Structure 1
Protein backbone atom coordinates (compact mmCIF):
# COMPACT_ATOMS: atom_id res chain seq x y z
CA UNK A 1 0.00 0.00 0.00
CA UNK A 2 1.29 3.43 -0.95
CA UNK A 3 0.48 6.61 0.93
CA UNK A 4 0.91 9.62 -1.34
CA UNK A 5 1.17 13.18 -0.05
CA UNK A 6 0.23 15.85 -2.59
CA UNK A 7 1.49 18.62 -0.31
CA UNK A 8 5.03 17.30 -0.82
CA UNK A 9 5.05 17.18 -4.63
CA UNK A 10 1.69 18.12 -6.16
CA UNK A 11 2.79 17.73 -9.78
CA UNK A 12 4.50 14.42 -9.11
CA UNK A 13 1.59 12.96 -7.17
CA UNK A 14 -0.88 14.08 -9.84
CA UNK A 15 1.26 12.41 -12.54
CA UNK A 16 1.73 9.19 -10.55
CA UNK A 17 -2.02 8.88 -9.97
CA UNK A 18 -2.70 9.56 -13.66
CA UNK A 19 -0.21 6.85 -14.66
CA UNK A 20 -1.83 4.34 -12.31
CA UNK A 21 -5.39 5.28 -13.33
CA UNK A 22 -4.55 5.04 -17.04
CA UNK A 23 -3.14 1.51 -16.67
CA UNK A 24 0.39 2.66 -17.54
CA UNK A 25 1.77 0.94 -14.44
CA UNK A 26 0.10 -2.41 -15.18
CA UNK A 27 2.58 -5.20 -15.88
CA UNK A 28 5.62 -3.16 -14.87
CA UNK A 29 9.02 -4.76 -14.47
CA UNK A 30 11.73 -3.58 -12.11
CA UNK A 31 14.49 -2.68 -14.54
CA UNK A 32 16.95 -1.34 -11.98
CA UNK A 33 17.67 -3.05 -8.68
CA UNK A 34 20.46 -1.56 -6.59
CA UNK A 35 20.56 -3.37 -3.23
CA UNK A 36 20.63 -0.96 -0.31
CA UNK A 37 19.85 1.93 -2.65
CA UNK A 38 16.72 1.69 -4.82
CA UNK A 39 14.38 -0.29 -7.05
CA UNK A 40 13.28 1.50 -10.22
CA UNK A 41 10.43 0.99 -12.68
CA UNK A 42 8.35 3.06 -15.08
CA UNK A 43 8.47 1.66 -18.63
CA UNK A 44 5.05 0.75 -20.03
CA UNK A 45 4.65 -2.70 -21.56
CA UNK A 46 3.20 -1.11 -24.71
CA UNK A 47 5.83 1.07 -26.47
CA UNK A 48 3.16 3.40 -27.91
CA UNK A 49 1.73 4.04 -24.44
CA UNK A 50 5.20 4.64 -23.06
CA UNK A 51 6.05 7.09 -25.86
CA UNK A 52 2.91 9.13 -25.14
CA UNK A 53 3.70 9.61 -21.46
CA UNK A 54 7.47 9.79 -21.77
CA UNK A 55 7.24 13.03 -23.76
CA UNK A 56 5.30 14.75 -20.96
CA UNK A 57 7.95 16.17 -18.66
CA UNK A 58 7.25 17.53 -15.19
CA UNK A 59 8.70 20.70 -13.74
CA UNK A 60 11.02 20.14 -10.79
CA UNK A 61 9.57 20.43 -7.30
CA UNK A 62 11.55 20.98 -4.11
CA UNK A 63 12.10 17.94 -1.95
CA UNK A 64 10.13 18.78 1.17
CA UNK A 65 10.82 15.56 3.08
CA UNK A 66 14.08 13.62 3.46
CA UNK A 67 14.18 10.27 1.72
CA UNK A 68 14.00 7.16 3.87
CA UNK A 69 13.44 3.43 3.49
CA UNK A 70 10.24 3.10 1.42
CA UNK A 71 10.17 6.61 -0.08
CA UNK A 72 8.55 6.79 -3.52
CA UNK A 73 9.90 9.36 -6.01
CA UNK A 74 10.16 10.05 -9.71
CA UNK A 75 13.66 9.64 -11.08
CA UNK A 76 15.16 12.42 -13.11
CA UNK A 77 18.34 13.12 -14.95
CA UNK A 78 18.46 16.89 -14.87
CA UNK A 79 16.32 19.99 -14.80
CA UNK A 80 12.60 19.31 -15.38
CA UNK A 81 13.34 15.76 -16.57
CA UNK A 82 10.79 13.68 -14.62
CA UNK A 83 8.50 11.60 -16.84
CA UNK A 84 7.45 8.04 -15.96
CA UNK A 85 10.43 6.51 -14.18
CA UNK A 86 9.77 5.92 -10.49
CA UNK A 87 11.87 4.45 -7.70
CA UNK A 88 11.49 3.20 -4.15
CA UNK A 89 14.37 4.06 -1.82
CA UNK A 90 15.79 1.05 0.04
CA UNK A 91 17.99 2.70 2.64
CA UNK A 92 17.00 4.72 5.70
CA UNK A 93 18.11 7.98 4.16
CA UNK A 94 17.96 6.98 0.51
CA UNK A 95 21.73 7.15 0.25
CA UNK A 96 22.50 10.11 -1.97
CA UNK A 97 18.90 10.43 -3.21
CA UNK A 98 17.19 13.75 -2.76
CA UNK A 99 20.41 15.59 -1.86
CA UNK A 100 21.02 18.45 -4.22
CA UNK A 101 18.87 16.80 -6.87
CA UNK A 102 15.83 19.03 -7.40
CA UNK A 103 14.41 16.56 -9.91
CA UNK A 104 13.89 13.95 -7.17
CA UNK A 105 11.22 14.72 -4.58
CA UNK A 106 9.21 12.59 -2.18
CA UNK A 107 5.76 11.60 -3.48
CA UNK A 108 4.92 9.45 -0.49
CA UNK A 109 5.90 6.17 1.10
CA UNK A 110 5.26 2.46 0.92
CA UNK A 111 3.32 1.96 4.16
CA UNK A 112 2.43 -1.69 3.71
CA UNK A 113 4.11 -4.40 1.66
CA UNK A 114 7.69 -3.13 1.69
CA UNK A 115 8.74 -6.74 2.27
CA UNK A 116 7.83 -7.44 -1.37
CA UNK A 117 10.53 -5.00 -2.47
CA UNK A 118 13.00 -6.63 -0.09
CA UNK A 119 12.20 -10.01 -1.70
CA UNK A 120 12.94 -8.53 -5.12
CA UNK A 121 16.38 -7.49 -3.86
CA UNK A 122 16.97 -10.90 -2.28
CA UNK A 123 15.96 -12.74 -5.47
CA UNK A 124 18.07 -10.37 -7.57
CA UNK A 125 21.15 -11.10 -5.48
CA UNK A 126 20.48 -14.85 -5.29
CA UNK A 127 20.25 -14.98 -9.09
CA UNK A 128 23.77 -13.56 -9.29
CA UNK A 129 22.99 -10.23 -10.93
CA UNK A 130 25.56 -7.50 -10.44
CA UNK A 131 24.67 -4.04 -9.19
Structure 2
Protein backbone atom coordinates (compact mmCIF):
# COMPACT_ATOMS: atom_id res chain seq x y z
CA UNK A 1 0.00 0.00 0.00
CA UNK A 2 1.41 3.42 -0.88
CA UNK A 3 2.39 5.65 2.02
CA UNK A 4 2.31 9.00 0.21
CA UNK A 5 -1.01 10.43 -0.99
CA UNK A 6 -1.18 13.53 -3.17
CA UNK A 7 -4.07 14.84 -5.24
CA UNK A 8 -7.11 12.53 -5.47
CA UNK A 9 -7.61 9.80 -2.87
CA UNK A 10 -9.21 6.57 -4.00
CA UNK A 11 -12.40 5.64 -2.13
CA UNK A 12 -10.99 2.23 -1.25
CA UNK A 13 -7.95 3.80 0.41
CA UNK A 14 -10.08 6.19 2.41
CA UNK A 15 -12.32 3.34 3.49
CA UNK A 16 -9.37 1.32 4.71
CA UNK A 17 -7.48 4.19 6.36
CA UNK A 18 -10.12 6.42 7.94
CA UNK A 19 -13.20 4.40 8.66
CA UNK A 20 -14.15 2.50 11.76
CA UNK A 21 -14.06 -0.96 10.21
CA UNK A 22 -16.38 -3.90 10.78
CA UNK A 23 -17.96 -4.35 14.20
CA UNK A 24 -18.68 -7.83 15.49
CA UNK A 25 -22.08 -7.29 17.09
CA UNK A 26 -21.81 -10.38 19.23
CA UNK A 27 -18.89 -8.84 21.11
CA UNK A 28 -20.77 -5.71 22.22
CA UNK A 29 -21.45 -5.08 25.90
CA UNK A 30 -24.93 -3.58 25.58
CA UNK A 31 -25.57 -3.54 29.34
CA UNK A 32 -22.81 -0.97 30.03
CA UNK A 33 -23.42 2.33 28.22
CA UNK A 34 -20.44 4.52 27.33
CA UNK A 35 -19.80 7.52 29.57
CA UNK A 36 -20.75 10.08 26.89
CA UNK A 37 -24.02 8.83 25.33
CA UNK A 38 -25.19 10.99 22.41
CA UNK A 39 -28.58 11.66 23.96
CA UNK A 40 -27.16 13.17 27.15
CA UNK A 41 -23.69 14.53 26.34
CA UNK A 42 -23.45 18.06 27.77
CA UNK A 43 -22.74 20.98 25.47
CA UNK A 44 -19.07 21.95 25.32
CA UNK A 45 -17.81 25.56 25.46
CA UNK A 46 -17.92 27.43 22.16
CA UNK A 47 -14.12 27.18 21.93
CA UNK A 48 -11.52 25.56 24.15
CA UNK A 49 -8.04 24.07 24.05
CA UNK A 50 -6.94 20.49 24.66
CA UNK A 51 -3.35 19.80 25.70
CA UNK A 52 -1.92 16.44 24.69
CA UNK A 53 1.20 14.98 26.22
CA UNK A 54 2.62 12.49 23.74
CA UNK A 55 5.73 10.36 23.45
CA UNK A 56 7.12 12.79 20.86
CA UNK A 57 6.25 15.99 22.71
CA UNK A 58 3.32 18.26 23.65
CA UNK A 59 0.51 19.08 21.21
CA UNK A 60 -2.20 21.71 21.67
CA UNK A 61 -5.56 21.54 19.90
CA UNK A 62 -8.10 24.35 19.59
CA UNK A 63 -11.71 23.16 19.19
CA UNK A 64 -14.54 25.19 17.64
CA UNK A 65 -18.08 24.12 18.47
CA UNK A 66 -19.60 26.00 15.54
CA UNK A 67 -17.62 23.76 13.18
CA UNK A 68 -19.23 20.56 14.52
CA UNK A 69 -21.42 20.89 17.64
CA UNK A 70 -22.06 17.17 18.12
CA UNK A 71 -18.43 16.33 17.40
CA UNK A 72 -16.97 18.90 19.76
CA UNK A 73 -19.41 17.93 22.53
CA UNK A 74 -18.31 14.30 22.17
CA UNK A 75 -14.61 15.18 22.13
CA UNK A 76 -14.95 17.37 25.24
CA UNK A 77 -16.71 14.54 27.06
CA UNK A 78 -14.09 11.97 25.96
CA UNK A 79 -11.27 14.15 27.27
CA UNK A 80 -13.11 14.80 30.54
CA UNK A 81 -13.49 11.04 31.06
CA UNK A 82 -9.81 10.29 30.33
CA UNK A 83 -10.49 8.35 27.14
CA UNK A 84 -7.28 9.52 25.45
CA UNK A 85 -4.92 8.88 28.37
CA UNK A 86 -2.43 6.17 27.40
CA UNK A 87 -3.95 5.88 23.92
CA UNK A 88 -1.85 4.40 21.05
CA UNK A 89 -1.64 6.32 17.77
CA UNK A 90 -2.31 3.13 15.86
CA UNK A 91 -2.35 4.38 12.27
CA UNK A 92 -0.01 6.99 10.79
CA UNK A 93 0.09 7.26 7.01
CA UNK A 94 2.76 9.64 5.77
CA UNK A 95 1.39 12.83 4.16
CA UNK A 96 -2.18 11.70 4.85
CA UNK A 97 -3.51 11.19 8.40
CA UNK A 98 -2.66 10.07 11.94
CA UNK A 99 -5.54 8.12 13.52
CA UNK A 100 -6.26 7.22 17.15
CA UNK A 101 -9.17 6.49 19.48
CA UNK A 102 -9.10 2.73 20.07
CA UNK A 103 -7.89 2.20 23.62
CA UNK A 104 -6.62 -1.35 23.22
CA UNK A 105 -8.98 -2.49 25.99
CA UNK A 106 -11.61 -4.73 24.33
CA UNK A 107 -14.29 -4.09 26.95
CA UNK A 108 -13.89 -0.30 26.65
CA UNK A 109 -13.70 -0.25 22.86
CA UNK A 110 -16.82 -2.41 22.53
CA UNK A 111 -18.78 0.18 24.53
CA UNK A 112 -18.21 2.71 21.76
CA UNK A 113 -19.10 0.43 18.87
CA UNK A 114 -22.70 1.69 18.61
CA UNK A 115 -22.35 5.03 20.38
CA UNK A 116 -22.17 7.18 17.27
CA UNK A 117 -23.18 10.84 17.19
CA UNK A 118 -25.36 12.39 14.46
CA UNK A 119 -23.71 13.30 11.18
CA UNK A 120 -23.13 16.98 10.45
CA UNK A 121 -22.24 19.09 7.42
CA UNK A 122 -18.62 20.00 6.71
CA UNK A 123 -18.12 23.62 7.79
CA UNK A 124 -14.30 23.76 7.60
CA UNK A 125 -11.80 22.10 5.28
CA UNK A 126 -9.61 19.11 6.15
CA UNK A 127 -6.43 21.16 5.95
CA UNK A 128 -3.11 20.08 7.41
CA UNK A 129 -3.34 20.08 11.18
CA UNK A 130 -7.13 19.85 11.43
CA UNK A 131 -8.82 17.17 13.55
CA UNK A 132 -11.85 15.12 12.40
CA UNK A 133 -13.76 12.02 13.49
CA UNK A 134 -13.43 8.78 11.58
CA UNK A 135 -16.67 7.09 10.60
CA UNK A 136 -18.23 4.27 8.61
CA UNK A 137 -22.00 4.11 8.20
CA UNK A 138 -24.34 7.05 8.89
CA UNK A 139 -24.13 8.39 12.46
CA UNK A 140 -21.06 6.32 13.40
CA UNK A 141 -18.66 9.05 14.52
CA UNK A 142 -17.84 7.71 17.95
CA UNK A 143 -14.40 7.80 19.59
CA UNK A 144 -11.87 7.56 16.74
CA UNK A 145 -10.29 10.70 15.32
CA UNK A 146 -7.59 11.65 12.87
CA UNK A 147 -5.27 14.60 12.40
CA UNK A 148 -4.64 15.58 8.80
CA UNK A 149 -0.93 15.44 8.04
CA UNK A 150 -1.41 17.29 4.74
CA UNK A 151 -4.18 19.25 3.02
CA UNK A 152 -6.90 16.68 2.27
CA UNK A 153 -9.73 18.65 0.59
CA UNK A 154 -11.11 15.45 -0.95
CA UNK A 155 -12.28 14.48 2.55
CA UNK A 156 -14.55 17.54 2.64
CA UNK A 157 -16.89 16.15 -0.02
CA UNK A 158 -16.13 12.43 -0.24
CA UNK A 159 -19.39 10.47 -0.01
CA UNK A 160 -19.21 7.06 1.64
CA UNK A 161 -22.26 5.03 2.68
CA UNK A 162 -24.49 7.98 1.76
CA UNK A 163 -22.72 10.40 4.11
CA UNK A 164 -20.79 13.32 2.64
CA UNK A 165 -17.49 14.47 4.08
CA UNK A 166 -15.58 14.34 7.36
CA UNK A 167 -16.32 17.49 9.39
CA UNK A 168 -13.27 18.96 11.17
CA UNK A 169 -13.68 19.91 14.84
CA UNK A 170 -10.62 22.09 15.30
CA UNK A 171 -6.92 22.28 14.59
CA UNK A 172 -3.45 21.82 16.02
CA UNK A 173 -2.26 25.23 17.20
CA UNK A 174 1.14 24.11 18.51
CA UNK A 175 3.18 20.94 18.45
CA UNK A 176 2.60 19.90 14.84
CA UNK A 177 6.26 18.89 14.80
CA UNK A 178 5.42 16.31 17.49
CA UNK A 179 2.52 15.01 15.38
CA UNK A 180 4.80 14.76 12.34
CA UNK A 181 7.23 12.73 14.44
CA UNK A 182 4.68 10.01 15.34
CA UNK A 183 5.96 6.62 14.17
CA UNK A 184 4.72 6.02 10.61
CA UNK A 185 6.61 2.94 9.43
CA UNK A 186 3.61 0.66 10.11
CA UNK A 187 1.30 2.80 7.96
CA UNK A 188 -2.16 1.25 7.83
CA UNK A 189 -1.04 -2.23 8.88
CA UNK A 190 -2.56 -2.37 12.42
CA UNK A 191 -5.93 -4.11 12.10
CA UNK A 192 -8.84 -2.51 13.95
CA UNK A 193 -10.73 -5.76 14.53
CA UNK A 194 -7.60 -7.28 16.06
CA UNK A 195 -7.15 -4.24 18.32
CA UNK A 196 -10.77 -4.56 19.47
CA UNK A 197 -10.58 -8.28 20.19
CA UNK A 198 -6.94 -8.86 21.28
CA UNK A 199 -6.27 -5.41 22.71
CA UNK A 200 -2.90 -3.95 23.57
CA UNK A 201 -1.27 -7.37 23.56
CA UNK A 202 -1.76 -7.45 19.77
CA UNK A 203 -0.26 -3.98 19.32
CA UNK A 204 2.64 -4.60 21.70
CA UNK A 205 3.52 -7.82 19.91
CA UNK A 206 3.11 -6.70 16.30
CA UNK A 207 3.67 -2.92 16.45
CA UNK A 208 5.85 -2.14 19.47
CA UNK A 209 7.11 1.25 18.20
CA UNK A 210 3.73 3.00 18.11
CA UNK A 211 3.65 6.39 19.78
CA UNK A 212 1.19 7.09 22.58
CA UNK A 213 -0.97 9.97 23.75
CA UNK A 214 0.03 9.83 27.39
CA UNK A 215 -2.50 12.36 28.67
CA UNK A 216 -5.16 14.74 27.35
CA UNK A 217 -6.72 17.54 29.36
CA UNK A 218 -8.98 20.53 28.81
CA UNK A 219 -6.94 23.72 29.15
CA UNK A 220 -9.50 26.55 29.06
CA UNK A 221 -12.21 28.13 26.93
CA UNK A 222 -11.07 30.86 24.57
CA UNK A 223 -11.02 34.38 25.97
Which of 140, 144, 166 aligns to 1:104? It is: 166
Q: Deviations over 1:10-64 (max 9, x none)?
A: 0000001111110111111111111000000001243322222332111100010
Q: Which has the higher strand share?
A: 2
Distance 1:49 1:70, change over 3 A: same
CA distance in 2 between counterparts of 1:100 and 1:124 reads: 24
Which of 174, 184, 192 aligns to 1:124? It is: 184
Deviation at 1:116, TM superposition (A): 0.7
SS in 2 for 1:40: strand
Which of 122, 140, 152 aligns to 1:81? It is: 140
Q: For structure 1, list consecutive stretches of 5 or more residues without a partner in the other structure.
A: none
- Which aligned runs of 4 or more in structure 1 are off by greater than 4 angstroms? none
Deviation at 1:103, TM superposition (A): 5.4
TM-score (norm 2): 0.52
1:38 aligns with 2:100: no
CA distance in 1 between counterparts of 2:133 and 2:70 reads: 11
2:131–2:171 contact (8 Å) kept in structure 1: yes
1:6 aligns with 2:65: yes
TM-score (norm 1): 0.86
Q: Paired residue for 1:94?
A: 152
Q: How big is the alpha-carbon RMSD for the aligned residues of Structure 1 and Structure 2?
A: 1.7
Q: Paired residue for 1:65?
A: 124
Larger Rg: 2
Equivalenced residue count is 125
